Amino acid sequence: MRPAGKGPLDSLYFHYPVFPAGHAPERDGKRTRHPVVIVGAGPIGMTAALALARHGVRSVLLDRKDTFNDGSRAICIARPSMHILERIGAAAPFLAKALGWRFGRSYYRGTQIFRLEMPHPESEKYLPMYNLQQQYIEKFLHDAVAACDLIDMRWRSELAGIENRADGVALDIATPEGNYRLDADYVLAADGARSPIRSMLGLRLKGENYEGRYVIADIRMDHDFPTERRAFFDPSGNPGGTVLIHKQPDDIWRVDYQLREGESEEDALREENIRARVGAILADIGHTKPWELEWWSIYSANTLCLDDYRHGRIFFIGDSAHIVPIFGVRGLNNGLADADNIAWKLARVLHGEASERLLDSYSPERRGATLDVFANATKSTRFMTPPTRGWRLAREAALSLSLKHEFPRGLANPRQMQPYAYSQSPLTPHTGRDAEFASGPVCGSFAPNARLADGSFLLDRAGYGMTAILFCDGTPDAEQSALLDQLGRSDKRLVPLLVQRTGNVAGAIQDASGKIARLYGAAPGTLYLLRPDLHIAGRWKTIAADEILHTARLCLGVPTP
Amino acid sequence: MSQMPFDDLEAAYEALALAIDAAGEKREALFLTRLALVLAHELGDIGVFKRAVQTALEELP
């Protein structure tokens, strides 16, 4: 919502473009079968289209609106998401505009009780978190979409019907010019929390709703405070409730405050009440200069998801598949990981390189990630919005003891988004090999980055197919060479990387200090196999050719004997 | 169960009664919750703590 007298897209700082509907060739009777149709051009749909394009796959991207989503909405981009944005070629404008951060503070009745410090090892290329309004996220992704020949973006195109058949999907599209039919091999449902595709298929999200409600309000003010997450428990500006403050670019600040019990939603959303409550909160943090109200909305926490993210040839990605609480910033970030996950798998299948069975791994991997988010988010949600007297008392006990004592302070930790490890995935069959390692990233986890001697990073060298990292001093021996050859024959996109403490094989990564080997818990002869999404498919202290080839074939969707 | 001497248990009983009165009726629930959290931390054993919670909860009159 916006202040009286302003239109829904009348922003203080962002100009909403209006996109024309365009003319669909199907309206002239042209029947093309499209490999992928993506419904919904929000951040997740656009990322999916760009990721497919990066793998050489065409898509049609539909949105019923004629512009970006209103309001700042999801504002936190986590480190793994920056890697996704980098690999779809869209990271530069994000880095130029977004505000990176890694610190936070929690206060109880005005006194600081917890200092959040997210680790930022020098081996990492990106900060743990970046704040950026969703309009900018959508604009930057759309700039990349508009520049991409493989994406056919169609605004003002609303899904009116969908038929999910064994041999393809038929979509009925409504436009200002009239309806037309679109045929697709596969459909990605990126149509958001109220997903029309979900309703059309008769599917329902299942899970929990939480009681506590928050108003989220954006204001513009000249306020001198670094980009940190600030959480205020029971502050005098919102007695009995919680307040969160985040900084965004363009002098925009996000103020979230918890509604009191019994406060009606209608009252809470009235402009004069928003102004009064925000004013009290600002007075409390010592901001006495003027401020302007930009946009506001209301929010209550849910942990809801579909039982299966795949229905035949239709895949649900982002909010259409799962609704997670905002505390911990996992909604957008998990949606981006969904898009990245399905894109490389679909690309393999559509290029005829993988059997359709590869697509079966999408739902267990990404639904697994959602359930993991629920476990963490449920804890932070209970802390942010205690649902009963018992939870309220326990929290007040913990917070009040935190004023003088260290031991309960960790309970105020917001448990920000951590990337999920696909250790239970059908594509990660040899997790038992983790036992051979004393340290380093486990099977299924996101590969850690490392800074190389020339200032570039290890993951910059990873490919868009499988990547094999072989720790090897000197030239690879006969067994190692034979394995890399065989891997290269099963995956023509394979990128083999040699990491060497000694020796000077051309193109090898020099690791004279042993820094990368330590990070990966590797000895000479160790091999890590990375998937196209930079998760670790497997790791072996020394080569076990059968297992490595088996894992690679699974990730490539090649049927194994 | 610990081998707390009876005299010590009696002293704990008295300290508890006095502390509940000192906290006052309005804040007794918060005080007791804080006390339980501090004791859990001092105890350092989640199994023992959960058993204690059960003991205190069962057959609550």
Would A235 be classed as within a structural domain?
no
Interface check A401 vs B, CB under 8 A = yes
In order of A37, A157, A197, A359, the CA distances from A313 in angstroms are 11, 21, 12, 10
What are the DSSP calls for A432-464, one per residue? GGGGG-SSSPPTTSBPPP-B-TTS-BGGGG--S
By the CB < 8 Å criterion, does B38 face chain A? yes
B34 touches chain A (CB under 8 A): yes
CB within 8 Å: A393 and B29: yes
**Per-residue pLDDT, A514:** 93
> What is the least distance, in Å, from the CA of A414 to any CA of chain B?
20
Residue-wise pLDDT tens digits, A391-405: 999 999 999 999 999
Are A326 and A34 in contact by the 8 Å Cβ rule? The answer is: no
Residue type at position A533: D
CATH number at residue A505: 3.40.30.120
- Kindly determine whether residue A394 and residue B38, on different chains, have CB atoms separated by under 8 Å: no
For A305, phi then psi, to 5°, come to -155, 165
Mean pLDDT of A366-390: 87
Mean pLDDT to the nearest integer, A259-274: 90
| SS3 of residue A376 by DSSP | helix
Least confident of A4-8, A122-126, A413-417, A438-442: A413-417
Specify the 3-state DSSP secondary structure of A14. coil
Identify the band that residue A262 occupies on the pLDDT scale cut at 50, 70 and 90: confident
H or E element, residue A84: helix A79-87
Judge whether A161 and A557 are in contact, CB under 8 Å.
no
Q: Do A394 and B37 touch (CB under 8 A)?
A: yes
H or E element: which one contains B34?
Answer: helix B28-43
Determine the Cα–Cα distance for residues A63 and A42; give it in Å rounded to an integer: 8
The answer as to whether A47 is a domain residue is yes
| Tally of domains within chain A | 2
pLDDT value of position A416: 66
User: What whole-number percentage of chain A has pLDDT above 70?
Assistant: 99
Calculate the average pLDDT of chain A.
Answer: 93
- In this complex, the residue of B29, B30, B37 whose CB is nearest that of residue A408 is B37
- Taking an 8 Å cut-off on Cβ atoms, the answer to whether A397 and B41 are in contact is no
Mean pLDDT, residues A23-33:
91
Confidence of residue B1 (pLDDT cuts 50, 70, 90): low
Asked if residue A470 and residue A367 are part of one domain, the reply reads no
- Looking at residue A343, what DSSP letter applies? H
What are A401's two structure tokens? 């003891």
Indicate if A344 and A457 belong to the same structural domain: no
Three-state SS string over A20-78 comes to CCCCCHHHHCCCCEEEEEEECCCHHHHHHHHHHHHCCCCEEEECCCCCCCCCCCCCEEE
| Residue numbers of the domain that contains A336 | 32-98+125-206+303-375
Residues of A in contact with B34 (CB under 8 A): 397, 400-401
Distance from C-alpha of A105 to C-alpha of A117, rounded to nearest angstrom: 9
User: Average pLDDT in the A37-62 region?
Assistant: 98
The residue of chain A with its CA nearest to that of B44 is A407
Instruction: Report DSSP state, residue A163.
Output: E
Strand boundaries in A200-334, DSSP class E: 206-221, 229-233, 242-248, 252-258, 291-305, 310-311, 314-316, 322-323
pLDDT for position A380: 82
Q: Domain with A324 in it: what CATH number?
A: 3.50.50.60
Enter the tokens of residue A506. 């051309």
Find the farthest-apart pair of alpha carbons in chain B and give their distance in angstroms, rounded. 34
Q: Please name every residue paired with A188 in a beta bridge, in sequence order, or none if there are none.
A: A38, A315
Q: Is the minimum CB–CB distance between A109 and chain B shorter than 8 Å?
A: no
Gap between the Cα atoms of A234 and A255, Å rounded: 15
Compute the distance between CA of residue A514 and CA of residue A84 in angstroms, rounded to an integer.
28
Asked if the structure places residue A287 within a domain, the reply is: no
**A329 and A463, same structural domain?**
no
Whether residues A478 and A542 share a domain: the answer is yes
How much is the pLDDT for A560? Answer: 55
Q: Is residue A193 part of a domain?
A: yes
CA distances B2 to A522, B9, B16, Å, are: 48, 11, 18
Residue at a domain's end among A375, A390, A411: A375
- Are both A194 and A52 inside the same structural domain? yes
Smallest CA–CA distance, residue B6 to chain A, in Å, is 30
List residues bridging with A528 in a β-sheet: A469, A539
- Does residue A104 belong to any structural domain of this protein? no
Same-domain pairing of A317 and A450:
no
- Collapse the DSSP code of A415 into the 3-class scheme (helix H, G, I; strand E, B; otherwise coil) and give the result: coil
* Pair A45, A151 in one domain: yes
CA distance A26 to A294: 41
Q: Using the beta-carbon criterion (under 8 Å), do A401 and B29 form an inter-chain contact? A: no
User: E strands along A91-241, which residues?
Assistant: 99-101, 103-108, 111-117, 129-131, 151-154, 158-165, 168-175, 178-189, 206-221, 229-233
Query: Are A531 and A443 within 8 A, CB to CB?
Result: no
CB atoms within 10 A of CB B42: 10
Q: Do B30 and A398 touch (CB under 8 A)?
A: no
Q: Chain B: nearest CA to A398, how far in angstroms?
A: 7
Is residue A199 predicted with pLDDT exceeding 60? yes
In this predicted structure, what is the pLDDT of residue A561? Answer: 47
Q: Are residues A53 and A139 in the same domain?
A: yes
pLDDT above 80 (res A414): no
| Calpha distance A386→A16 (Å, rounded) | 38
pLDDT tens for each residue of A482-515: 999 999 998 999 999 999 998 888 889 999 999 9
Separation between Cα atoms, residue A22 and residue A158, nearest integer Å: 13
**A511-530 pLDDT per residue, tens:** 999 999 999 999 999 999 99
Predicted local confidence at residue A431, as pLDDT = 95
User: Which of B33, B43, B49, B53 would you mutate first to test chain A, the one with the most A CBs within 10 A?
Assistant: B33
Minimal C-alpha gap between A422 and chain B (Å): 30
Closest-CA distance of chain A to residue B55, Å: 18
Helix (H) or strand (E) holding A10: none
Would you say residue A328 has pLDDT above 80?
no
- The better pLDDT of the pair A130, B60 is held by A130
- Residue A230 forms part of a structural domain: no
pLDDT digits (tens, 9 = 90+) for B6-44: 999 999 999 999 999 999 999 999 999 999 999 999 999
Pairing of strands A495-500, A509-510: parallel
